[in-house]
Each structure stands twice: as structure tokens, then as C-alpha cells.
Amino acid sequence: MLAREPLLGSFINLGSALAAEIAGHAGFDWLLLDHEHGPGGEETLLHQLWACGAAGVPACVRVAWNDPVRLKRALDLGPAAVMIPMVNSAAEAQAAVRAVRFPPRGNRGIAKISRSTGFGAHFDKLYYGDDDACALIVQIETPEAVADVAAIAAVDGVDALFVGPVDLTANLGCLGNQDHPDFVAARQAVAAAARRHGKAAGILQLDASRTTLHRDEGFSLITIGADAGVLFHGLRSIVAEAGPLMREERRP
């Protein structure tokens, strides 16, 4: 990720372990388990992480808020990365780093017997040599975050900046208009700041045809769609095709 190699992911927001496993077998490079807007809880998160492991795909957990308690619960389950929404300043990014790193670098609570440590089998390796094995991704979703994006990108311990296009376009006053000049300028500022400070830049996109555009802008961590949207649009296309056939007049 830090080498800014292209990594294709998708959001998993139904709280379903089976959906995560199916997406893993579909061939994505990584999956985002959405526990900000998704209905899942800690028990479903554990099952989703098992499912991602079974499919051989790294999983990033998006927590609901920049909260040390929420982060600690997710981190102890052993994800490959965590994503934090609505990080609006360098100070908030620094707080996130402290929450995900052990003392003395941070203030993450220590549990030697957790899934993240192999239930104690490799605690020493995690604590003394691999504290940053879990990547930290912060989301840029407000004009305030864009204004401070250079300072956010400079924070040691932040590995990637990720644009949330729905929230950011809404907060810029152009909800859903990804070609609005203000949003174009914002996402280009994010990509430039990430590149300048050796971090990765990511973005969510619902339209796969825009992948090349974002790659050219400097985004390497790209997610396309979500399990809920794929299911809804797939089923709706069946209804659109078969519904009229069910209602057409029968031939004698």
C-alpha cells in the first residue's frame, strides 16, 4: 500500500460473513468491512474476518468514529487495517495514531491474549517489532479536512488518506456531483498531499469506468461499489427484465 501499488477493493456493509467470503473469492485485493454505516457488530465482525481469511483477502475495518474504545475492540480482532471516518485535522489524525499504537508510541490498551496476537503466540513480535503491521487509513470528508490535508498527511503513523466522496461532495454543497470543480480540486489536493508525504491515497467509486481517471490523479487504493448495492441492482435488473414478461398477456 505504501508503495502506492494499485489495490482494488470493495465495501462490505451488509454485516454478512458470507458476503465477505464471496467478495474475497471474486478476486479483490482487499475488502473494507464497514462498521460505520453497516448493521454489523463485534460478533459479526469476527465472523467476517474469519471469512476474509478463508478467502485469502486482507480486511480493513472501518470503525464508526475516531474513538479509542471502538478502535481497541476492532484491533484486538486482528484486521490488516483500520479506517477512521471524518478525520478533520492533524490533531485528530495524531489522536488516531495514538489509539492504534501501543505505548510508548501510543495509548492502545494491551491484551496479550487476543486474536491479533495469535492468542499470545506472537505478542512479543507484535509489541516489540510489528506495532505498525495494522495499517491506519484516515478519511477526508469535509472542507476542514481538505484545508488541513497537508498536515494530516504529514502525521507519522498515518498510512493512507481516503476520500469519502458522498460526505465530501455533500459538505462541499455539491452532493453526488463528482465532476464539480470544488470536489475535483479537493480530491486532487488529497492525492498530492499523500504523494508528497509518502502515503497512499484512496477513494470510493460506484462507477468502475472512473478507475482510470482516479489512477491518473494519483489514487492507488480504490474501492468499487458495495455488497448491498451489487445485490440491490442485480435483483432489480431481474425484476426489470422478468416483471413485464410475467404481466404480459398470455398467448392462446
Query: Could you give the domains of the chain?
Result: 7-130+203-247 (3.20.20.60)
Closest by CA to 200, choosing from 221, 223, 216, is 221
- Determine the Cα–Cα distance for residues 30 and 33; give it in Å rounded to an integer: 10
Q: Are 177 and 169 in contact (CB under 8 A)?
A: yes
Tens of pLDDT, residue by residue over 11-58, are 999 999 999 999 999 999 999 999 999 998 888 999 999 999 999 999
- Looking at the chain, the whole-number percentage of residues with pLDDT higher than 90 is 91
Catalytic residue among 37, 47, 122, 214: 37
User: For the CA atoms of 31, 226, 230, 51, what is the dihedral angle to 10 degrees?
Assistant: 30
Q: What does pTM read for this prediction?
A: 0.95
Q: What is the DSSP string of 103-160?
A: TTT--PPP-SSSGGGTTTTTHHHHHHT-TT-SEEEEEE-SHHHHHTHHHHHTSTT--E
122 belongs to the catalytic site: no
pLDDT of 141-187, one tens digit each?
999 999 999 999 999 999 999 999 999 999 999 999 999 999 999 99
Output the pLDDT for position 154: 98
